[in-house]
Structure 1
Amino acid sequence: METAPETTAANDRHTPLAAGFPDPVHDAQACFRAIMDAMARPGTRQKLKLDALSPPEPLTPVAAAIALTLFDYDTPVWLDRTLMSSEPVKAFLRFHTGAPIVSEPVDAAFALVGDPKQLIPLASFNQGSAEYPDESTTVILSGQEFDMSQKVTLSGPGIKDTATLAVTPTPPVFWDQVISNNRQFPRGIDLIFAGKTDIAALPRSTSVVLTEI
């Protein structure tokens, strides 16, 4: 039998709040180092410590760890439709991070994407400005698989010669948008790819070339 919307909403409100990091200080420090290493070495995979972290679905443990590490009261967060429709996910993020959830992607310091196939255009997010490029949005794509799709070739700061990266799922025109985004440097968004246990990152300073199939 299909559950009435009001019953579902009531159940969501009474769902026990999922716990955050077991050791908030040390777990957040370890996760922050992994994120910084991923940003400093674009395309490399960094493993996160996820012991006993069980966020409400559809928020994944890796995406939750990134959120618990980077989000705070001063970082407006935009959620895609998949995550925004989950009251337990919003309650988890509000309680453990204090981050305000905004309705417009351009207002967000971070964007958390639960369904990367339906990712809105990258140009919808805050691109920063020439004076304040660091005000751009960092977009976090959850549920990523590595080495399962067409590879792109990366070059730029933090990369000796070139590196390769393959992630899925993404929208059909994703890499074209990334290439356009990174040509704006120092403006443009940064990307974090959240897998099952690993992350990879693609800062706006990285040059991206589609690899021939």
Structure 2
Amino acid sequence: MIINLPPTGHQIKSVTNFKDLVATPFTGAVNAICWDRTLKGDFAEIVNKIPLDENINILNQEELGALQLSEQGQLARDIILNDWQLLTAHGAAPVLNLIRCYDRDDANSFFPTDVYSFHADRSPVPTDTFLCTYYGAPSQILPNAQAQQKVWVPEIRAALKKQYGGAEEGFEAFLSDHFFDLHYQATPGALPVSLGVGNLWRLAIDHPESQVLPCIHRAPEEKNGQPRLLLIC
């Protein structure tokens, strides 16, 4: 079950403009900040004008600008380009993806580490994750209080130690090197939160200077026949 909550609460803070999105600090339990928006324009027209020969098509601003669009399609494009420019000026490196689906780990894997698994992002330097779904199924957050790090689930930890097969003192480094420690599972009764369509989010990640827990999130199951248009950095 996924709940569509307004972007409020002890973990999520709502803002009304880009300046506050980037300037509001992560403090206490707050590790997700949302510029809550209802966007105008025809984003579906953009999606329908872009060829999708692969599972993911990475678009640049020139390709987006070259699309022949209606007035509503142009309005949607202007919103995307404005977000792109705001994020770039902030020092981020946005990527616009049209996504049919992401690659998945083997269905028989006892520990999938693809983006459909609840996970946190990590960086060796202070930074944040920004994302906005303009069309298609939106990403999801799992509240930290409703998440358990998979590497501490006894049967999973035992299987990882068997896979590792080395000296005990190197086990934690093994978990980190293979990103196992970044993945989580929902606790019983957990209610993941939809990030919604059109909202621009800033999520805390795991880095050396972070004062808060990283935000746990995942890519959604795509709706059949409906790709996602996602700006992320």
Give the TM-score normalised by the residue count of structure 1: 0.31
RCO higher in 1 or 2 (8 Å CA, sep ≥ 6)?
2
TM-score by length of 2: 0.29
